[in-house]
Amino acid sequence: MELLRFHNSSIWNKVEHRNRPSRRTVNKEFELLRIFRVTAESSSFRDAAVRLGTSPQGVTRAIKRLEEYYGEVLFHRTTRQVRITAFGEGLLEQVRPALERFEDLWRIPGADQQASLSGTVRITAPHSLGTRAVLPALERVAARHPGITLDVRLSDRVSNPVDEGIDVGIRVGFMRDSRFVARKAADMRLPIVAAPRLIKKVGVPEGIESLARLPVTAAVDINTGRPWPWHFKAGHQWTPTSPAFIADNADMEMGAALAGIAFAQLADYMAAPYIASGKLVQVLEQEGPPAWGLYVYRPQRGPVSGRVRVVFDELRAAVGSLPVLR
């Protein structure tokens, strides 16, 4: 069994020619990949060492061995932090699900299906995922485990889940906080959309700059009171300066787009069904940014209770089933 096999991109080409190691090395190589994953989810080698119960030097040695194996740099290092490289990100996307499948083998068979599970699980997520992912997941939990009390706190505000006693949460974007375990559940794209009647009235934007001359929505960041920027490829951002519609709620933004009031940049799990039905039209497709990850997370607090595990797994499945752009 090789350290890891890849089936896409240049990453596979880097490892395809490696010799197959003996069984005696499998456990050691598994541990190297586990150290890599924890390091990628931490802010520094020191933080990773604390989580792993080892020394920063041990983490450094493990990462160097992996870099020598793949012939690629996995992290950019500075005196204050480490930042994963593009190759490292590709490796992480392959490593994470493989390790999770292995870890699932160590779970007690049937433990999460026990009818006796009880207690409270506090869940948080953005408002836009409330009825789309959280409620369907919790409906299944409630049907299987009526003894669990489900405490849901939807919020788009940046807060401290540990201080608020959150057991499971959903967030957009990777979580590097070493206090949490985060698992990617889906990719999210950000299409720009408008109703057909608005496009008939004002036309299709020819480029990002032309958006300034068209009616657009602005999503208010409730943490700062300022509009969120729109995101495009190559890291380009554009912030509406004269929006036709301002809202601090993503469903209100989508409503404005459906009503023909303005162009909007929406999450594809919201817009995809309306694009498929023709009620919304996607524009500037060639300018779209790379997909963002949707993650389900829980605090890193040692053994996970059965009630938290079943909620975590159902939320992850629900997020993975959200509508996507085809």
* 147 & 212 share domain: no
What backbone torsions phi and psi does residue 83 show, to the nearest 5 degrees?
A: -130, 125
45 located within any domain: yes
Q: Is residue 16 part of a domain?
A: yes
My answer on whether 304 and 184 are in the same domain is yes
Residue 154 exposure: Cα atoms within 13 Å on the Cβ side: 12
77 and 54: one domain?
yes
If you ran DSSP here, which 8-state letter would residue 133 be given?
Answer: I
Distance (Å, whole) CA 318 – CA 252: 23
User: In terms of Cα–Cα distance, which of 41, 123, 133, 93 is closest to 320?
Assistant: 133
- Domain match, 115 and 98 both: no
Q: Do 278 and 241 sit in the same domain of this protein?
A: yes
Residue in 204, 14, 176, 221 with CA at minimum distance from that of residue 82: 176
Region 20-30: mean pLDDT is 61
On whether residue 219 sits in a domain, the answer given is yes
Please count the CA atoms within 13 angstroms of the CA of 42 that sit on its side-chain side.
20
Per the CB < 8 A criterion, the answer to whether 284 and 207 are in contact is: yes
| pLDDT band with cut points at 50, 70 and 90 for residue 178 | low
- Residue 304: per-residue pLDDT: 77
Of 301 and 74, which is predicted with more confidence?
74
Query: Which one of 87, 104, 121 terminates a domain?
Result: 104
Higher pLDDT, residue 301 or 115: 301
Residue 215's domain is classified under what CATH number? 3.40.190.10
Q: Are residues 310 and 171 both part of a single domain?
A: yes
Same domain as 249, residue 134 = no
Average pLDDT for the chain? 85
Is the pLDDT assigned to residue 189 strictly greater than 70?
A: yes
Q: Is residue 68 part of a domain?
A: yes
Domain shared by 219 and 244, yes or no: yes
Last residue of a domain, one of 104, 120, 135: 104
Q: Is residue 303 part of a domain?
A: yes
Q: Which of 58-67, 137-146, 163-172, 200-209 is least confident? A: 163-172
| Structure letter (DSSP) for residue 134 | I
> Is residue 272 classed exposed, middle or buried when 0-12, 13-18 and 19+ CB atoms within 10 A define those classes?
buried
Q: Is 179 within a domain?
A: yes
The structural domain count of the chain equals: 3
Domain assignment present for residue 3? The answer is: no
Say whether pTM exceeds 0.85. no
On whether both 283 and 299 belong to a single domain, the answer is no
Does position 163 have pLDDT exceeding 80, yes or no? no
Mean pLDDT of 270-298: 95
Residues with Cβ within 8 Å of residue 321, at least 6 apart in sequence: 133
Q: Give percent above pLDDT 70 in the chain.
A: 84
Q: What is the pLDDT of residue 83?
A: 82
Question: Is 325 a domain residue?
Answer: no
Closest CA to 40 of 94, 105, 102, 4: 94
- Is the pLDDT confidence value at 12 over 50? no
Same domain membership, residue 239 and residue 197: yes
Query: How does residue 326 score in pLDDT terms, banded at 50, 70 and 90?
Result: confident
Residues 93 and 140 in one domain: no
Q: Rounded distance, CA 70 to CA 108, Å?
A: 35
At 187 the pLDDT is 93
Asked if 89 and 216 sit in the same domain, the reply is no
Domain enclosing residue 126, as ranges: 111-188+292-320
Q: Residue 177: what pLDDT?
A: 65
| pLDDT on residue 17 | 44
Q: Supply the pLDDT for residue 7.
A: 38
Q: How far is residue 167's CA from residue 145's CA, in Å, rounded to a whole number? A: 17
H-type helices in the chain, by residue range? 9-15, 26-40, 45-52, 56-70, 86-104, 135-144, 196-202, 250-258, 268-277, 306-320
